[in-house]
């Protein structure tokens, strides 16, 4: 790492830092990072030859205003060499996604994607949804754009292939068929309504269908139906007919169920007024697995192809790319991106080659045009919402005498039951609506008297603002313009005292309290320098502030419930000697809950994966003590 030279003017200091780094910089491929005074990444870039690329930043006169500002803030540089430029591109995408540098195009997407899972660790495999890491031996199909999309597919699969969706604990405890069997969505293997061989045949058909061989599966079902009819097994023939109809419905052709595309992602971009929406459709096995809109953060100078190129590299950082990606625009360095995605796909064990294509005609072109239309419409909706949000923030600034519309509003709330499982939360609102990536949870550490909401709020504020002050983050986008508290004059006074002790005097403090009847619309607002006041019942600003408060309350309640549920689940097993996190997880995964473990017999415990006979006896003895 290169340190900041002491004296030259700001812009020249950054140039000096870069020139010093160039003295030892190799010509090999790699990734470079420009860091500010806090050690945070300003920019992450990749190069085929590091030295040749980075030297351009020393020619200040040839740089744009944005890059000159970046150079002026650079106090040190770091580099990582790679074997190839494609590896450098993958590393660059990973670092940008993780570090979120201010001067890069950044994909702000921290959500995992759901997959359809067919388990392989049970005699009768289960069809279900999986998100996150794979915890069971299984086959995964996807990704899907949303939980709704994967649930729709599971429902369709149940109608056609009659696979069970219940968890293993429910399966092992049934003595009669469930409702899904009655409505012809399950073959009821739990009570022996189907043989193991026949059920595994259904599983094989489902895998073939998910693998893109729907036509082959349909031909096989048609042959079975004809054979059943010839044998006068009309009830079986009718059941097969219903399955064929269901399969035909699932395969119904449409714009986003193209017959000529088996496995591909369709990525289209649209740009308006310097803002970009990128729409992604997931097509797997010839089926549309849903779509999602993304709005990468970038400057107005970046054009759609540049934004799409940066987006694609970051988007596939944690997921396997399909063999084909259909695009609405030609990308800069398109061949290099294809090479990098091929490396990524090979790393997931999915094959070697990824093709990037911009179709000009035919069905693939129609599919891309459809995605581009979705991108345009999504961006128009977002810009319209942002305009409305801007008007609300203007009104908030006018109401509370702020010099400019607030860029960041932080709202705080607590949740507990008689002081137990106490949590404080912070939610964030701004020009783009709720910023859920900025939400924070605070497990109250105490000691605090049960029900002392003032003390809980004090701890939350001291931790949030105390840390920001220690780290020097008292300005910039992460520092709030407004702090909104659910409460009245007493809460406002307590918060003001905490802020004064911390030396925070540039944040507007507002408390919102329900009226005497606790009716929404009769809230009282408390703030510095004026008496408490109410807003007209239909005032848009009132609705907006209510939404902020209610979102904080919702987040506090769900956080508290999750914490309390975790405590309740773990408490019974935590009391058993010799049961650590690994064995506890194995028991809960196998039996579904602590209650299931408590009710299990000794033989069932001994049969649980990862549980030895001695451990099983210890668990059984804990729940069934002998006199």
Residue 361 to residue 380: CA distance in whole angstroms = 26
* pLDDT tens sequence across 514-539: 766 555 567 899 998 889 998 887 78
Residue 148 to residue 117: CA distance in whole angstroms = 15
Average pLDDT, the chain: 85
Q: Is the pLDDT of residue 251 over 70?
A: no
Q: Is the pLDDT of residue 578 over 80?
A: no
| Residue 501: C-alpha distances to residues 165, 461, 566 (Å) | 56, 11, 35
* pLDDT tens sequence across 194-238: 999 999 999 998 888 887 777 777 777 778 788 878 878 777 788
pLDDT at 4: 43
pTM of the model: 0.69
Q: Are 163 and 207 spatial neighbours (Cβ–Cβ below 8 Å)?
A: no
Q: Is the dihedral of CA 588, 590, 596, 601 positive or negative?
A: negative
| Lowest-confidence segment of 437-451, 455-469, 611-625 by average pLDDT | 437-451
* pLDDT tens sequence across 454-493: 888 888 999 999 988 888 888 878 899 999 998 888 889 9
94 conformational bin, left if phi > 0, alpha if psi -120 to 50, beta if neither: alpha
Residue 54 to residue 18: CA distance in whole angstroms = 8
| Lowest-confidence segment of 203-217, 262-276, 573-587 by average pLDDT | 573-587
pLDDT at 418: 52
Domains defined along the chain, listed by start = 10-99 (3.40.1440.10), 114-212 (no CATH), 264-380 (3.30.420.340), 409-564 (3.30.420.340), 575-623 (1.10.150.20)
Residue 296 to residue 294: CA distance in whole angstroms = 6
Residue 292 to residue 107: CA distance in whole angstroms = 13
């Amino acid at each position: 790492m290169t340190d900041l030279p002491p004296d030259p003017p700001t812009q020249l200091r950054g140039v000096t830092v870069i020139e010093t780094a160039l003295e030892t910089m190799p010509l090999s491929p790699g990734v470079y990072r420009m860091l500010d005074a806090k050690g945070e990444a300003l920019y992450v870039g990749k190069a085929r030859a590091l030295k040749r690329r980075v030297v351009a930043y020393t020619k200040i006169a040839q740089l744009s205003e944005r890059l000159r500002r970046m150079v002026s803030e650079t106090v040190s540089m770091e580099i990582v060499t790679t074997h190839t430029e494609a590896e450098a591109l993958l590393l660059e995408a990973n670092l940008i996604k993780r570090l979120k540098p201010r001067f890069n195009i950044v994909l702000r997407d921290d959500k995992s994607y759901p997959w359809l899972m067919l388990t392989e660790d049970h005699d009768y495999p289960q069809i279900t949804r999986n998100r996150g890491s794979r915890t069971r031996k299984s086959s995964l199909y996807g990704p899907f754009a949303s939980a709704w999309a994967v649930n729709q597919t599971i429902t369709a699969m149940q109608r056609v292939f009659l696979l069970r969706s219940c968890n293993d604990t429910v399966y092992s405890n049934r003595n009669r068929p469930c409702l899904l069997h009655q409505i012809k969505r399950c073959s009821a293997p739990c009570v022996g309504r189907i043989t193991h061989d026949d059920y595994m045949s259904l599983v094989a058909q489902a895998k073939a269908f998910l693998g893109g061989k729907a036509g082959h599966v349909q031909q096989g079902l048609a042959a079975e139906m004809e054979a059943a009819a010839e044998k006068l097994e009309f009830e079986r023939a009718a059941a097969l007919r219903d399955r064929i109809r269901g399969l035909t419905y699932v395969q119904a052709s449409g714009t986003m169920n193209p017959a000529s595309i088996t496995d591909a992602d369709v990525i289209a971009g649209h740009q308006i007024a310097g803002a970009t929406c990128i729409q992604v459709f997931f097509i797997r096995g010839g089926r549309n697995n849903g779509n999602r809109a993304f709005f990468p953060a970038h400057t107005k100078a970046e054009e759609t192809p540049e934004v799409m190129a940066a987006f694609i590299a970051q988007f596939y950082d944690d997921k396997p790319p399909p063999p084909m990606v259909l695009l609405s625009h030609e990308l800069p360095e398109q061949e290099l991106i294809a090479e990098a995605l091929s490396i990524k796909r090979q790393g997931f064990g999915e094959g070697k080659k990824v093709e990037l294509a911009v179709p000009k005609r035919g069905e693939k072109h129609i599919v891309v045009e459809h995605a581009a239309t979705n991108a345009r419409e999504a961006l128009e909706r977002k810009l319209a919402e942002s305009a409305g949000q801007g008007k609300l923030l203007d009104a908030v600034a006018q109401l509370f005498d702020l010099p400019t519309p607030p860029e960041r509003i932080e709202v705080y709330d607590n949740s507990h039951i008689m002081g137990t499982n106490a949590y404080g939360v912070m939610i964030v609102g701004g020009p783009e609506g709720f910023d859920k990536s900025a939400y924070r949870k605070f497990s109250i550490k105490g000691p605090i008297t049960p029900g002392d909401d003032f003390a809980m709020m004090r701890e939350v504020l001291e931790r949030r603002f105390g840390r920001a002050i220690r780290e020097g983050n008292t300005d910039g986008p992460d520092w709030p313009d407004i702090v909104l508290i659910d409460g009245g004059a007493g809460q406002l006074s307590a918060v003001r005292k905490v802020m004064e002790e911390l030396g925070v005097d540039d944040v507007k403090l507002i408390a919102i309290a329900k009226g005497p009847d606790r009716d929404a619309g009769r809230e009282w607002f408390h703030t510095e320098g004026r008496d408490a006041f109410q807003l007209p019942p239909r005032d848009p600003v009132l609705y907006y502030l209510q939404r902020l408060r209610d979102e904080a309350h919702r987040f506090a309640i769900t956080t508290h419930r999750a914490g309390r549920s975790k405590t309740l689940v773990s408490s019974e097993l935590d009391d058993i000697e010799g049961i650590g996190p690994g064995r506890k997880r194995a028991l809960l995964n196998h039996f579904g809950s602590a209650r299931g473990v408590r009710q299990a017999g000794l033989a069932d415990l001994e049969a649980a994966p990862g549980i030895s006979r001695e451990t099983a006896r210890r668990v059984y003895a804990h729940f069934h003590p002998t006199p």
